[in-house]
Amino acid sequence: MRIGSIVAAGLLAAAAARGQTADELIAKNIAARGGYERLKAVQTMRLIGTMKVGGQSLPAALQLKRPNKSRWEFLIEGQTGIQAFDGKEGWTWLPFEGQTGPQPMGDEERAEAEQQADLDGPLVDSKQKGEKIELLGPDSKFRPDDWKLKVTLKDGEVRYVYLDPKTFLQSATVTRRKIDGVEVEVRSEVGDYRKVGDLVLPHSFTASSPGGGPSQTIQFDRVDVNVPIDDSQFAMPEPKKPAGPPGMEPTPTVG
């Protein structure tokens, strides 16, 4: 190929890029996932798989229900950890961390749980949610070939959503979170998209930090939509009296 042809091709690609808008990319993402009507028709979702942290592989399950309800469970050495959000408040029950009963989430945990409980994700109905979405230039340091969208949530938090240029499906999200009191950048890469009925849904999620530390991978083997899930799964249970000696609280069970 001659240099002139290469330059011409580059100019055409740049022109095509300039012709895209954030709204057009959002519309293409929604269409690639199955379309607006089909996404909104999903009322519940149950995902079963494995979470890998360091050298551990932990059985895990995630349940989601409109509006904004979530319940995340994982098994560690016979003990079940639970993180849940009932649409308004969040709670945890982590017996392996010494919790003898359900505990309310702090403000930061609660805000994160509320975002994760959104069945549609930030690109659907963004204006109704009070979000602002902008299309940025290529990110030379992380996924330079992908489209990069800046999403400002209603509370002012900023996250960056990356879309694959060929499929327009989400490839990654970058956020900043406080871990042990220190604010760090967290990169969550999304993949293993599969057909589930009329939808195209991701089955693999890997979270890591450029600053180091162990990565966390979640691989879902099964995703079921519109299955019956009772609201009681998301409500914080009343603390139970210990069945044995003082301090020996029963471990919560997966419901």
Q: Hey, CA dihedral for 176, 178, 184, 190, is it positive or negative?
A: negative
Residue 8's CB is within 10 A of a number of other CB atoms, namely 12
Mean pLDDT for each consecutive 10-residue tract of the chain (255 residues)? 41 47 96 97 96 87 95 90 94 89 89 89 93 93 94 92 97 83 85 96 92 83 96 86 47 48
- Specify the CATH architecture of the domain 43-233: Clam (2.50)
pLDDT value of position 8: 36
pLDDT value of position 179: 65
Quick: pLDDT tens for 190-201: 999 999 999 999
pLDDT value of position 112: 85
pLDDT value of position 6: 40
For residue 53, list its beta bridge partners: 56, 216
Quick: pLDDT tens for 40-68: 999 999 999 999 987 789 999 999 999 99
Residue 93's CB is within 10 A of a number of other CB atoms, namely 23
Answer whether 0.75 is exceeded by the pTM.
Answer: yes
pLDDT value of position 177: 77
Query: Beta strands 132-136 and 79-85: pairing type?
Result: unpaired
**Surface-to-core class of residue 173, CB atoms within 10 Å of its CB (0-12 exposed, 13-18 middle, 19+ buried):** buried
